Amino acid sequence: MDFDAPFPSMQGPLLQRIVDDLADKGWSQQDAFLPDALIARLATECRARDAAGKLAAAAIGRGEGQAVREGIRGDRIQWIEPGQSEACDLYLGALDALRQLINRSLYLGLEDFEGHFALYPPGAFYQKHLDRFRDDDRRTLSAVFYLNADWREEQGGALRMYLPDEQTLDLAPIGGRLVLFLSGEFPHEVLPASHERLSLTGWFRRRGDSSF
C-alpha cells in the first residue's frame, strides 16, 4: 500500500496495524507514533499555554447543560486550530494522513478532526464516560496522544477502557503513545496520577444526523 505519511515512523507497518486493530476490535494502541522531538515541543507548548492562563477548566455536557464539575472531570484544556503553531500543525497533519488512510481502508466517512490540549494536575481524574454525545453522533473515532516523557506506570494516570465481556484495560499515558477507539462503543475513564499528565485529545468526526 502507498501511504502518504508525514513522518518516517508513520509508514506502512504501523498504519496497517492501526487499520487492522480498528477492524478487528474497534481500538488500537501504538507507541512511538511521532518523533520524540515533536512530542517534547508539544509538551512545552501545552505547559506554556497553561502558564499563560490559556488552559481552562474542562466542562461536561453540551449547550445550556454544560458545566464545570471537578468531581467528575478535573483537567484543564484548550482547543487547537490550524495555524496556531508549527508543532500543532505537524500533529494535525499526521492525524489527517491517518484519517485519509482509515477512510480508504474502513470507509468510516471521517470528515474532520477536533482536538485540544489536556493537562491533568496531580490527583485529577475523569470519571467513566462515552465520548459521543446523545444529541450529536458526529464523533466517530477518539484519538488520545500522550506527551509525558519518562512516564512510569506506578505514577498512575492510566486510561481505563471498558471492553466487551466486562473486561477492563489500563493504558499508561506514556509519551508518544497513541490510543484510538470507536467513540460510541468504549466507555473509559482517566485515573488519578501522582504527576502532571499531558495529552492531546480529540475526535475524528463524520457527517452526522445532528443539526449542530
Q: Does residue 3 form part of some domain?
A: no
CA–CA gap between residue 100 and residue 2 (Å, rounded):
12
Helix-strand-coil split of the chain, %, nearest 5: 30, 30, 40
Q: What is the CA radius of gyration of the chain?
A: 16
Q: Does residue 101 form part of some domain?
A: yes
Q: Does residue 167 form part of some domain?
A: yes
pLDDT along the chain (212 residues), means of 10: 63 88 97 95 98 92 62 93 96 94 95 97 96 83 97 97 95 98 96 98 84 42
Domains of the chain: total: 1
Q: Please report which helix (H) or strand (E) contains residue 83, including its range.
A: none
Q: Does residue 212 form part of some domain?
A: no
pLDDT at site 171:
98
CB 177 within 8 A of CB 28: no
CA–CA gap between residue 171 and residue 177 (Å, rounded):
9
Q: Which CATH number covers residue 172?
A: 2.60.120.620
Q: Does residue 81 form part of some domain?
A: yes
pTM for the full predicted model: 0.91
Q: Does residue 114 form part of some domain?
A: yes
Q: Does residue 2 form part of some domain?
A: no
pLDDT at site 124:
96
pLDDT at site 158:
98
Expressed as residue numbers, the domain containing 173 is 10-60+67-206
Q: Smallest Cα–Cα separation from 44: which of 115, 117, 96?
A: 117
Place of cell 496497517: 16
Q: Smallest Cα–Cα separation from 18: which of 198, 192, 195, 180?
A: 180
